[in-house]
Structure 1
């Protein structure tokens, strides 16, 4: 532990080679615990709230998480290769200032997630202590999460690894006991009353939850050595997200089938007490650290997005002090949001996830197509930090146009509580906007990227490598040799 710095100093700057360390296997516990929490469990109850049986919910959960995690995992593999935060790398597609639009969407989504995380954590404290001190609980939860976020990258990884063992010792036992001891109605294992609307809402919620990590997943792999195998980084990230999200969402669907109409917290408590009287309280207490650290993961990442936004219009020095201030601002935003929140948790959370999916799909499509198909992982790192006159431009019209085209193309296919697109309505409320957005944005970007001068970019990357010691990287996972 002595080699772990007290407080991280890096933020949006490139991670030098002499500070790179770690193994891709550390990504599994990080992303497993980031998903193994009560907010994920609540996501698995969305389908049941619309009348889906346990079997239908499980099919929607597994398929939704499987699809959403694909994109998240491929983004994670970019971190070791570039040594940059995800949104800084996105300047290559959207421009030095254009990326601010995407950053704003990401900050909105992260703060939104933290509002829901804090509501659940406060509900746990209220239920377990019997003290209805909601505002105080919000402050305590935010303070703990902020402190860990300030310590930064390496400490977050360590805490998530430790909490993995705590989770396995508590929720692992609870899951096995629930599967053995629960009496579930036979109708829950059939397709009676099946509706595409309920299936697709649960599918979309699961996919959006897994995809929600994509805009900042490489923030947590950027300290790994550039020699790290992209396939291993991808595998451990995929496995962590998929196992954690599927497990907890499936558990949520199970307790929803057992206790229809009950809040996520109360459902877990009743299920545990039914197995061993009095164990529900202790199980919820054991779940609290997981909620706190996922809030931490979000605060840390959103602080990088916030600094990126500021830096895009006024250059800043990425100091430790600036990162602490940015973390504090994001934490305060989540605290205010949770303090003023009201309404039904599941209804609001389900709607939030659907909107999040619509906003993130075109971005992930453009970013991945650019990285793996267009530029093939070769970027001039120094150029990404040049405000004007860089090879990537101030406003990346190709990326922004492809993003907007994807959003517009999805509108006729969307299904929300506020609006249903005409094509979706004609299809009986079936929501396929996810697939439309992915394909249209990717196709639009590939067509527009044909006008890029990639040879000039590669020459610039190689020149940076020779003149400044910044590596020109490729998807091979190896650092291009620096000529001396």
Structure 2
């Protein structure tokens, strides 16, 4: 059995005592601690975000009325439940989600999925959030004379990326202890910003030409796809929950994770929609970051920019932390800390490219829509597998990479998981509407974007159907075979 060696415990008395050296290695029961509710601020801190303002404003720019925008915001928060569901696999298995998905794709198949899908999702989110802080920080630098449109954002990106990597290096202990305070600070700052936004809101706002029929459904579906892509991308939730005791109740983990991400997202995205009603088109063309700073008093502007940067570090610190374990899970002989540095370098390079080529609003909307083609199917199949196994995973079996091991399947590949994701992504692409690609079925429907519901329905349906077929064939050869081998005491 090939299992990485155990390393030192990660929860020292002080979170800054030393970096976390553990990567994907199994966590012994003696090192498990904490409560499910500790996850709430861990997820709240990254989601008190300026991107919520940006995406909320984009809903109104699509032509929606306020009540329609609010309906889309609430509906698109439902996928946070899936983020919570997959989180329960962390305490059950005691390892990273990038290892747990071996149960879905097979030992070899998982390497392909994690190497491509996992890195793509991580790089996109690192870049999007660093991009937001780069534009905001550049606006502040312009006030002190640094007006170059490239140098300013690049300098901010490099500084924020460096701090983010430090957070990822110190890892789980730092995140768990510091993020509650970070969430509180960010909440205060963003509520202050909201207080200065509200007087500018046009509560009687109505589009010049209200959307009806197919155009209305198109705008609402596109907005839903953009917003839903955020919770669907958080397939790293098992990584943040894996240090909890195995006896932690799954419903508590689901609630803390889901509500921690959903509540701040819903509130501040709704504020973003309100913001768009009080800003004219010319101001929005300059960028929402400029429009926001223009509404705030001189003393609050720098504080808000600081909040944006802190939020960016909290979110990307979490993302870099979990992405740093992806290399190990696919077999690359690298320790977690050097891996975190590599992840940070990739995200920095992509951010600098985006800084020089696009605006924040364009980048956010386009990349989130394309991201859903990957995140939707992979999240759907992960949540389906957790439900089918009733949250039961055995860490020792997950690290058994020998032919004939429980997750070796057919030559190291698990056809049901791989095929379900490919079909889910392929069909979702046919229903996608974006600036660079409109699927033929979406075009036939008048540019109505059904990529998210298609991926969330098709992927689980294919996975369940193929699993049943696989079980039937296996039971024919061996009536005692168990499609979900779980050792005694391994339930979450």
TM normalised by structure 1 equals 0.87
Q: Residues 47-446 of structure 1: matches in 2 within 5 Å?
A: 47-65=59-77, 67-103=78-114, 104-130=116-142, 131-132=146-147, 133-179=152-198, 181-184=199-202, 186-188=204-206, 192-194=210-212, 195-213=216-234, 215-259=235-279, 260=281, 261=284, 262-273=286-297, 278-309=299-330, 311=331, 316=333, 322-341=335-354, 342-373=357-388, 375-389=389-403, 390-393=405-408, 394-446=412-464
In structure 2, how many angstroms separate the alpha carbons of the residues matched to 1:383 and 1:334? Answer: 33
| Structure 2 unaligned residues grouped into runs of 5+ | 1-11
Identify if the C-alpha distance between structure 1 residues 83 and 418 changes in structure 2 by more than 3 Å, giving closer, same or farther: same
In structure 1, how many angstroms separate the alpha carbons of the residues matched to 2:155 and 2:92? Answer: 43
- 3-state DSSP of counterpart to 2:379: helix
Identify if the C-alpha distance between structure 1 residues 459 and 209 changes in structure 2 by more than 3 Å, giving closer, same or farther: closer
- Cα deviations by residue, 1:366-409 (Å, 9 ceiling, x for unpaired): 22222212x33333322211223212111111211111121223
In structure 2, how many angstroms separate the alpha carbons of the residues matched to 1:446 and 1:23? Answer: 32
Per the TM alignment, residue 83 of structure 1 is displaced from its structure 2 partner at its CA by 1.4
- 3-state DSSP of counterpart to 1:44: helix
Identify if the C-alpha distance between structure 1 residues 171 and 112 changes in structure 2 by more than 3 Å, giving closer, same or farther: same
Per the TM alignment, residue 302 of structure 1 is displaced from its structure 2 partner at its CA by 1.1
Per the TM alignment, residue 305 of structure 1 is displaced from its structure 2 partner at its CA by 1.8
- Cα deviations by residue, 1:291-326 (Å, 9 ceiling, x for unpaired): 1121111111111123212x1xx6x4xxxx711111
Per the TM alignment, residue 126 of structure 1 is displaced from its structure 2 partner at its CA by 1.9
- 3-state DSSP of counterpart to 2:324: helix
Q: Do the aligned partners of 2:100 and 2:398 also contact (CA within 8 Å) in 1?
A: yes
- 3-state DSSP of counterpart to 2:236: helix
- 3-state DSSP of counterpart to 1:328: helix
| Structure 1 unaligned residues grouped into runs of 5+ | 466-471, 478-484
In structure 2, how many angstroms separate the alpha carbons of the residues matched to 1:305 and 1:73? Answer: 20
Name the structure 2 match of 1:480: none
Q: Which moved more, 1:22-31 or 1:45-54?
A: 45-54
Name the structure 1 match of 2:43: 31
- 3-state DSSP of counterpart to 1:187: coil
TM normalised by structure 2 equals 0.86
Identify if the C-alpha distance between structure 1 residues 339 and 185 changes in structure 2 by more than 3 Å, giving closer, same or farther: same
In structure 2, how many angstroms separate the alpha carbons of the residues matched to 1:253 and 1:415? Answer: 21
Per the TM alignment, residue 185 of structure 1 is displaced from its structure 2 partner at its CA by 5.4
In structure 2, how many angstroms separate the alpha carbons of the residues matched to 1:221 and 1:203? Answer: 28
In structure 2, how many angstroms separate the alpha carbons of the residues matched to 1:325 and 1:457? Answer: 39
In structure 2, how many angstroms separate the alpha carbons of the residues matched to 1:137 and 1:173? Answer: 24
Per the TM alignment, residue 31 of structure 1 is displaced from its structure 2 partner at its CA by 0.6
Following TM superposition, the consecutive aligned residue runs of length 4 or more in structure 1 with deviations greater than 6 angstroms are none
Name the structure 1 match of 2:8: none
Per the TM alignment, residue 183 of structure 1 is displaced from its structure 2 partner at its CA by 4.0
